[in-house]
Amino acid sequence: MKSKKQLSENFYIEEISDYLLKEFSDLNKQDRLYLRMFKRAQFFFRRNQYLKALILLYESIILLFADVHGIKDVMNYDSREESRKKIKAEIYNSEIDPEKN
């Protein structure tokens, strides 16, 4: 985007480049996938696209649990399913014993 901005001859390309750089710079700075998905969820939530935001937030939570529990290869369906099971177990445990919450 920076190179497009520098090479642009039109004012509107510079303006669009500035806007896109500002919007996506925070997203690109995140080193973890779950943080990037969380930032994308915030992006869509601010634009009143709640279904996209909710789905991205859910996926972010799944990836966070996978990261915390050391599940490798989060792009694999079975690994993500294992993370979902750990989330369900965590919710179940917190309902039985609130101290574990």
- 8 Å CB contact between 17 and 5: yes
- Which of these, 68, 47, 43, 66, lies nearest to 56 by C-alpha position? 43
Q: What is the pLDDT along the chain (101 residues), one digit of tens a residue?
A: 556 555 556 666 667 777 767 766 666 666 777 888 898 898 899 999 999 999 999 999 998 888 888 888 878 888 888 888 888 888 887 777 767 65
> Using DSSP, how many helices (H) and how many strands (E) does the chain show?
5, 0
pTM: 0.64
Q: What is the DSSP letter of 10?
A: S
